């Protein structure tokens, strides 16, 4: 917070170029703090679950936290503007090609590439789609599918944050692919498994675990996935033994 206030003070008292630089720096600091707080704070309130149609088929979607993804993209975009803008300014007001200008440009290049991957749809907010046939996970840079018949179990794990692993059988018909060749923001498991990072979804982590465990344990209820009934079940007190 002190560094943020100092950057604002310098921005107010500096000349045009210096003021712009410190204003963007202050914005970057604020966005970084907001992203960290939002990402690590569990979702509370009404679960972001809805019925959607994709390719003529119905799915029950657990929505991603758009606020988390939006802050990430804005933060990286701000870093790109800071680095590339500073590189251009140093280049324009110095003779030749200053080394610092090249360093700043190289630092800003990954940020520019990240934003371009977002614009091309290779990095997306994603979501969790549940259908009668299986589970589809769309992470930020990874897509994976595991059919229900190949699900061996659902378990909660903790790596400093709550995560849910949907374990597949050794012979599971498991499909996965990376959507970005440049960035790997999702881990690719080395065994049939869907790793669901609950920080990215608009649902309480405990409720998300109960939801996945319920449909894994009770195959007779999977036909309702992709219908309004599944949404009602998640939002109500119905995630119990249906027998």
Strand partners, 153: 167
Q: Who wins on pLDDT, 241 or 77?
A: 77
pLDDT tens digits, one per residue of 143-193: 999 999 999 999 999 888 889 999 999 999 899 999 999 999 999 998 999
Which of 195, 200, 201 lies closest to 174 in space, CA to CA? 195
Number of H-type helices and E-type strands within the chain: 6, 9
Mean pLDDT over all residues of the chain? Answer: 87
Q: Who wins on pLDDT, 13 or 75?
A: 75
Q: In whole angstroms, what is the distance from residue 243 CA to residue 214 CA?
A: 12
What per-residue confidence (pLDDT) applies to 10?
43
DSSP 8-class letter at 200: G
Buried b (16+ CB within 10 A) or exposed e, 50-89: bbeeeeeebbbbbbbbeebbebbbbbbbbbbbbbbbbbeb
Q: What's the CA angle centered on 232, arms 226 and 237, to 5 degrees?
A: 130
pLDDT tens digits, one per residue of 49-78: 999 998 889 999 999 999 999 999 999 999
Q: What percent of the chain has pLDDT over 90?
A: 63
């Amino acid at each position: 917070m002190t560094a943020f206030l100092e950057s604002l003070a310098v921005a107010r008292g500096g000349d045009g170029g210096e003021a712009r630089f410190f204003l963007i720096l202050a914005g970057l600091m604020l966005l970084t703090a907001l992203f960290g707080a939002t990402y690590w704070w569990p979702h509370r309130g009404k679960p972001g679950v809805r019925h959607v149609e994709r390719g003529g088929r119905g799915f029950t979607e657990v929505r991603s936290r758009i606020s988390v993804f939006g802050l990430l993209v804005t933060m990286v975009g701000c870093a790109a503007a800071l680095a590339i803008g500073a590189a251009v300014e140093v280049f324009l007001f110095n003779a030749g090609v200053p080394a610092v200008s090249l360093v700043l440009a190289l630092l800003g290049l990954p940020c520019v590439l990240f934003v371009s991957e977002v614009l091309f749809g290779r990095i997306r907010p994603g979501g969790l789609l549940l259908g009668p046939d299986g589970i589809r996970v769309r992470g930020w840079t990874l897509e994976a599918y595991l059919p229900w018949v190949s699900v061996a179990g659902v378990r909660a794990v903790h790596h400093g944050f709550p995560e849910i692993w949907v374990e597949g059988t050794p012979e599971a018909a498991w499909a996965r692919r990376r959507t970005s060749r440049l960035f790997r923001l999702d881990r690719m498991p080395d065994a049939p498994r869907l790793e669901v990072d609950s920080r990215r979804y608009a649902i309480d982590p405990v409720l998300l675990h109960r939801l996945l465990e319920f449909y894994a344990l009770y195959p007779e209820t999977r036909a309702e996935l992709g219908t309004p009934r599944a949404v009602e079940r998640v939002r109500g007190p119905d995630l119990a033994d249906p027998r």
